[in-house]
Structure 1
Amino acid sequence: MKKILSLAIMTLVMACGGTKQEQNIPVESKPDYTSHHIPAITKVFEAHGGYDNWSNLKSLSYEMGGSKTLVELQNRYTRIESENQTVGFDGENVWVYPASENADRQRMRYNLMFYFYAFPFVIGDPGVNYEAMEPVELDGKTYNAVKVTYDNGVGDSPNDSYIVCSDPQTNQMQWLMYTATFGGQASQRYNLIKYDGWKSMGGVMLPSSLQWYTYADGEVGDPRGNATAFENIQVSNDYPAMTNFEMPEGASIAKMPEGR
């Protein structure tokens, strides 16, 4: 997936690093993030609290499947702690600690779940294109649909595409269709995720669970495994400590795949 302009939130100083809050994060001046938005996607952003509210948040954290994730939202610095490994992004490198022969795999994985979790807001960045589509029927219900694509050179996987499917009455996102092309060629086969348990956090709506489904020939099939649950979700308008994202001595750097 992508780390747009590199596919976040928390009221914390998260135990994901255990350091107290600092105010020395370098902040780049940001362009107008909304001038390229079209009405169809703006309605979805507004149904989830508004893109301005999202843009004002500085940190997001959550627990998922035995790991703890902390994201500094303005620059997408990231730290993911699990029992045997810590993965981070310091603004330049994706690093893995302890050092690992398989570190390169984390170049895609490190922000994959954050990117899905932070929909629809992660598709609000510059370099993203929108197309209002004809309504889509999923599991017996009709949804408004907006196709999302990327400019060349944006993120790690500019050939990815998404279709945001929202309730026509509330404009709230219910399903996400996506292609996965990291390090490869464009695909026409869409995967499917259902979003549930939306909660208001820091002025924006965030999901509590994501459920993948089989999807073929326009038909929704069975759930693919168990739903992915997100717990201890926190957002904040304060920056997390930058020490959370610094690469430890002896860590491996995850490299981009060949051809990127």
Structure 2
Amino acid sequence: MKLPLLLFTVIILILTNCATPSPPAETESAALDSLARVPSSWIDERVAKAQQRLNSSNAGTFVWQAIEAHGGLTQWFSNGPLAFQFNYQPLDGSTPRNTYEVADYWSARTRHQRIDTTGEYGWTGTQAWIHPADTEMPYNTRFWSLTPYYFVGIPFVLADEGTNFELLGEQTYQDRVYDAVKITFGENVGDAPDDYYVVYIDRETKRVDVTRYIVSYPGYFPDGGHLPEKFMAWIGHQTVDGITLATGFDTYWWKGEQPAEHITKIAVSRVEFTPDITNTYFEAPEDARLISEM
């Protein structure tokens, strides 16, 4: 009686490996581990602290209103880790990046599977890794492990501790009026505390439609400095399990207080929450190559 079931399982595994990457099935031992999704009491406490912190300033209140308009922080965390495909296509001939990512926004952990070739990489919360160990990556995977995570997670990631808010006033884009809020980070917050973001919050819908930002990652700028500011326009919105996120982004250089050259196109697809993912999914595989450099 066990042989047909075994053959059926093998067939399913073969078909799965022929498809585009998705989170691998958990082993029996992994299934016994605790889920990455956390108890509701933890969520309630974290959300209450974030609400109090953001609403303590006018600028933070705009960000909190945007979070509510996109589905609310309680719903965001309650849904569990988020999975999505992030297809980053530069228009200047530089290296494209197309991965299927599962992101745990509660603990800032990620795991990427490359779409167009083999190999995977991720961030455990403290450690970057690449698997298989001999895989050559044409870009900085430590930096890239959390880059899609952050852009896709706006505005929810703006509620994290260590963020500071400044109201910049009114901005217009495509005949709509926005309140612009600048986000900076406290000292030693993340790998690039000198980064900043500016979000445009629609005065009518309270949703985010634009993100401006700089990249100051020390791995790229060991002596300080940053890239010129970029203007990232949200292509559209999609709502999944009560949470509204971008369908993609068009990115431009920001020059003369307006968007200039179009430099990247980004599609965000296959969006779903994965509440049954366990903590072991975000651990580095035993034979992975650990990345220490920035």
TM-score (norm 1): 0.83
1:254 aligns with 2:291: yes
Separation in 2, partners of 1:19, 1:208: 29
Moved more, 167-176 or 241-250: 241-250
Instruction: Tell me, yes or no, if structure 1 residue 176 matches structure 2 residue 176.
Output: no
Q: Which has the higher contact order (CA 8 A, sep 6+)?
A: 1
Contact 2:72-2:243 at 8 Å conserved across structures: yes
Task: After superposition, give the CA deviation of every residue in 1:161-201 in whole Å (9 maximum; x if it has no partner).
Answer: 11001212111111000011010335483211011221221
SS in 1 for 2:34: coil
Retained in 2: the 8 A contact 1:72–1:240?
no
Would you say 1:217 and 2:224 are equivalent positions? no
Residues 97-129 of structure 1 show CA distances to partners (whole Å, capped at 9, x for unaligned) of 122586792111111112111111111111111
Distance (Å, rounded) in 1 between the aligned partners of 2:177 and 2:288? 48
**Equivalent residue number for residue 36 of structure 1:** 53
Name the SS of the counterpart of 2:63 in structure 1: helix
AA matched with 2:22: A
Of the three residues 143, 147, 151, the one matched with 2:186 is 151
**Given residue 50 of structure 1, which amino acid in structure 2 is its aligned partner?**
G
1:90 aligns with 2:107: no
Match of 2:168? 133
For 1:34, what is the secondary structure of its paired residue?
Answer: helix
Q: Which amino acid aligns with 1:15?
A: S
Q: Within 5 Å, which residues of 2 pair with 1:1-260?
A: 15-19=22-26, 24-25=34-35, 31=46, 32-37=49-54, 38-65=60-87, 66-82=98-114, 83-100=117-134, 105-138=140-173, 141-183=176-218, 184=221, 185-187=224-226, 189-225=228-264, 227-236=265-274, 238-257=275-294
Give the conservation status (yes or no) of the 8 Å contact 1:208–1:229: yes
Aligned residues of 1:180 and 1:187 also touching (Cα < 8 A): yes
Number of equivalences? 242
Deviates more, 1:167-176 or 1:56-65: 56-65
Instruction: Tell me: CA distance 1:175–1:149, structure 2 relative to 1, closer, same or farther (3 Å).
Output: same
Q: Which residue of 1 aligns with 2:94?
A: none
- Unpaired runs of at least 5, structure 1: 1-13
Tell me the distance in 1 between the aligned counterparts of 2:186 and 2:63.
17
Letter in 2 for 1:41: V
Cα distance, 1:93–1:179 mapped onto 2, change above 3 Å: same
Structure 2 contact 124–282 (Cα < 8 Å) conserved: yes
1:220 alignment partner, SS class: strand
Do 2:107 and 2:125's aligned partners in 1 also have CA atoms closer than 8 Å? Answer: yes
Runs of 4+ in 1 over 6 A off after TM superposition: 101-104
Q: Deviations over 1:142-168 (max 9, x none)?
A: 421011011111111111111001212
Q: Please tell me whether the aligned partners of residues 139 and 220 of structure 1 are also in contact (alpha carbons under 8 angstroms).
A: no
CA distance in 2, matches of 1:172, 1:91: 29
| Whole-Å separation in 2 of the counterparts to 1:249 and 1:126 | 32
1:247 aligns to what SS in structure 2? coil
Greater radius of gyration (CA): 2
Percent of pairs with identical residues: 21
Deviation string 1:27-61 (CA, Å, 9 cap, x unpaired) is 69564222211212112112111222223231100
Distance 1:195 1:250 in 2: 38
TM-score, normalized by length of structure 2?
A: 0.74
Mapped contact 2:166–2:183 kept (Cα < 8 A):
yes
Q: CA RMSD in A?
A: 2.5
Tell me which protein shows more helix as a share of its residues. 2
Q: What runs of 5+ residues in structure 2 fail to find an aligned partner?
A: 1-20, 55-59, 88-97
